[in-house]
Amino acid sequence: MNITDQIALVTGANRGIGRQFVLELLERGAQKVYATGRRLESLDFDDARVVPLRLDLLDHDSVVAALQAAPDLTLLVNNAGIATGADLVIGDLAEIRRELDTHFWGTLDVIRAAAPTLAANGGGAIVNILSALSWFATRGAGGYAAAKAAEWNLTNAVRLELAGQGTLVQGVLLGAADTDIMADYAGPKIDPRTVARRSLDGLAEGAIEVIVDDWTAMVKAAVAGDRAEFYTKLGGLL
């Protein structure tokens, strides 16, 4: 995939990793970027190639309207997300549902609305921003980890379902990036721009999975190993 040919749509484009995606796409010469967010006024970009659109993952009508406004779309970046901090057993059920509604149902809603457009435009690509927490869980992130795990296997299933129309579906997995969602995390954090760079480098090579950082590579290797050993080690790591 050649990034200079692309017309992209990014969810959660107003800040964090999504904003860096927009800036990196522009730097690499993308033709147009639909920068979407919950509030139009938060989409502050100084480039004529940026088209701001309102898209709230929890508002189906806004998803349909945004995708209808992007008939030339070739690259969809599903980035928007939340972390409520809810544990599964004692946490607020409404917060846990909101995490699933956002990461699983919201992302799926956008994909379903975008898939016919991508097919009509030659296939294109979908990038889903996942997490190392798609592959393990920590205390204080039970709802988030379950939602990211669901989004990971959504990514795998959608990849198979859209292969026939030529759509590349890429899962991007990372540990901690320096954005608002990780403001309370004291450990090492990568530059959010790195996420966009690695993803777009991967798209150029046709990569279906991008492991952004060493921490996530370690988690991936550990998934194949002994679970008891992994969680014992994790207790010392976090």
Asked if 155 interacts with ligand NAP (CB under 6 A), we say no
The span from the CA of 55 to the CA of 106, in Å, is: 10
Please report, in angstroms and rounded to a whole number, the separation of the first and last CA atoms in the chain: 38
The span from the CA of 177 to the CA of 186, in Å, is: 11
Q: Which of the stretches 56-64, 113-121, 198-206, 226-234 binds ligand NAP when contact is defined by CB under 6 A?
A: 56-64
Per-residue contact track with ligand NAP, 96 to 125, x per CB under 6 A? ------x---x-------------------
3-state secondary structure 179-211: CHHHCCCCCCCECHHHHHHHHHHHHHHCCCEEE
**Cα-based distances in Å from 189 to 16, 38, 103, 184:** 13, 26, 22, 11
Asked if 82 interacts with ligand NAP (CB under 6 A), we say yes
Residue with tokens 């679970």: 227
Within residues 122-141, the interface with ligand NAP by CB under 6 A covers: 129, 131
Q: Which of the stretches 13-21, 155-163, 202-210, 229-237 binds ligand NAP when contact is defined by CB under 6 A?
A: 13-21
Asked if 182 interacts with ligand NAP (CB under 6 A), we say yes
Single-letter amino acid, residue 101: D
Asked if 14 interacts with ligand NAP (CB under 6 A), we say yes
Residue with tokens 């030339």: 72
Residue 96 contacts residue 143 (beta carbons within 8 Å)? yes
- Report in angstroms how near the CB of residue 106 gets to ligand NAP at its nearest: 6
Question: Taking phi first (over 0 means left), then psi (-120 to 50 degrees means alpha), and beta for anything else, what does residue 159 get?
Answer: alpha
Determine which residue in the list 3, 77, 176, 200 makes contact with ligand NAP, applying CB under 6 A.
176
Q: How many residues bind ligand NAP (CB under 6 A)?
A: 30
Asked if 203 interacts with ligand NAP (CB under 6 A), we say no
- Report in angstroms how near the CB of residue 25 gets to ligand NAP at its nearest: 15
Identify the sign of the CA torsion 112, 114, 118, 123: negative
Structure tokens at 199: 């993803």
Instruction: Name the closest residue to ligand NAP (Cβ).
Output: 16
* Of 95 and 119, CB closest to ligand NAP: 95
Binding site for ligand NAP (CB under 6 A): 11-12, 14-18, 37-39, 42, 55-58, 79-82, 102, 106, 129, 131, 174, 176-177, 179-182
